[in-house]
């Protein structure tokens, strides 16, 4: 069994529903620890069950990514998927393309070129808040699958942002560590005051 995953024991999916677990919130030390090196000796059936649990928890939240520390497990593992419907204008502004489900073991990334993008982000482990984060807009992503095969792929726009956000979790970093502090908003106030404003107006209004 994977260390720390005792919560999975005996979990079932009655009536075809998928089980979920509680998402750890900011302040829990597991979110500030760098996950140890990946242990390839974990049983595959345990890993498959964990991945399905993480996926169902992510989708139920709802979210587009979930790292193992967010459910209390200090493992270098994340799941990502962004297939939520979105209007064309918002998708274009955020360079948001559909991201099929992927499992990332021991992920890492490096910027490609010098282009950056600044957008508001949220996090399932920092419930109720959002803030503006500047990140590389283009990255070379690297990760292993559950079979231990290493993959590399260039990611751009919102896909690159999701991959960076989840990878950062495995190194004890939350998005608020990289955010413009004065941009921090409750989700309600962001929707009320800023969500439809141009970036320049938001920066001026919040003073960052």
Residue 15 resides in a domain: no
Grouping H, G, I as helix, E, B as strand and the rest as coil, residue 99 is strand
User: What whole-number distance in Å separates Cα of residue 149 and Cα of residue 146?
Assistant: 7
Answer yes or no: is 50 within a domain. yes
32 CB-near residues (< 8 Å, 6+ apart): 172
| 14, pLDDT greater than 60 | no
Question: Is 197 an active-site residue?
Answer: no
The CATH number of whichever domain residue 30 belongs to comes to: 3.90.45.10
Q: What is the pLDDT of residue 17?
A: 53
Range 158-172 average pLDDT:
98
Cβ-based neighbour number of residue 139 at 10 Å: 23
Question: What is the residue-wise DSSP string for 19-81?
Answer: P--PPP-TT-GGGGSPPPPP-TTS-HHHHHHHHHHHHHHHHHTT-SEEEGGGGT---SEEEEE
Rounded Cα distance between 28 and 162, Å, is: 22
Per-residue pLDDT at 191 exceeds 50: yes
Q: How far apart are CA 54 and CA 105, in angstroms?
A: 13
The bridge status of strand 65-67 relative to strand 77-82 is antiparallel
pLDDT at 113 over 80: yes
Tell whether 26 is covered by a domain: yes
The yes-or-no verdict on residue 2 having pLDDT over 50 is no
Instruction: For residue 76, tell me if it sits in a domain.
Output: yes
Task: Answer whether residue 201 is part of any domain.
Answer: no
Task: In whole angstroms, give the CA distance from residue 186 to residue 133.
Answer: 15
Is 166 a member of any domain? yes
Structural domain that includes position 88: 21-115+138-174
The domain tally of the chain equals 1
For residue 142, pLDDT over 60 is answered with: yes
User: With contact defined as beta carbons under 8 Å apart, do 95 and 158 qualify?
Assistant: yes
Is residue 132 a contact partner of residue 180, using CB atoms and an 8 Å limit?
yes
Residue 16 has pLDDT above 60, yes or no: no
Kindly report the length of the chain. 208
The mean-pLDDT minimum among 2-16, 123-137, 145-159 falls in: 2-16
Catalytic residue among 22, 166, 197, 204: 166
Does residue 124 have a pLDDT over 80?
yes
CB 13 within 8 A of CB 61: no
Contact 107, 80 (CB under 8 A): no
52 φ, ψ (degrees, to nearest 5): -65, -40
> Is it true that the peptide bond before 158 is cis, omega within 30 degrees of 0?
no
Domain assignment present for 207? no
Residue 78 located in a structural domain: yes
Local confidence band at 152 (pLDDT 50, 70, 90 cut-offs): very high
pLDDT reported for residue 11: 41
For the segment 29-65, what is each residue's pLDDT rounded down to a tens digit?
A: 999 999 999 999 989 999 999 999 999 999 999 999 9
φ, ψ at 124 (rounded to 5°) = -65, -15
- pTM of the shown model: 0.90
pLDDT attached to residue 5: 44
E strand or H helix that includes residue 155:
strand 150-156
């Amino acid at each position: 069994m994977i260390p720390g995953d005792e919560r999975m024991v005996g979990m079932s999916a009655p009536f075809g529903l998928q089980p979920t677990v509680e998402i750890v919130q900011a302040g829990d030390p597991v979110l500030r620890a760098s996950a140890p090196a990946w242990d390839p000796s974990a049983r595959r059936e345990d890993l498959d069950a964990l991945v399905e649990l993480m996926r169902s928890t992510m989708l139920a939240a709802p979210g587009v990514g979930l790292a193992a520390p967010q459910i209390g497990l200090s493992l270098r593992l994340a799941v990502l998927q962004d297939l939520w419907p979105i209007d064309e204008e918002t998708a274009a502004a955020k360079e948001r393309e559909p991201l099929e489900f992927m499992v990332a073991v021991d992920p890492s990334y490096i910027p490609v070129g010098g282009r950056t993008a600044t957008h508001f982000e949220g996090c399932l482990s920092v419930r109720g808040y959002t803030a503006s984060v500047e990140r590389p807009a283009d990255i070379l992503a690297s990760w292993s699958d559950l079979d231990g095969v290493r993959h590399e792929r260039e990611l751009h726009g919102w896909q690159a942002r999701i991959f960076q956000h989840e990878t950062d979790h495995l190194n004890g970093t939350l998005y608020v560590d990289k955010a413009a502090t004065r941009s921090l908003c409750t989700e309600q106030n962001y929707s009320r005051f800023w969500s439809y404003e141009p970036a320049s107006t938001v920066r001026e209004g919040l003073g960052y």
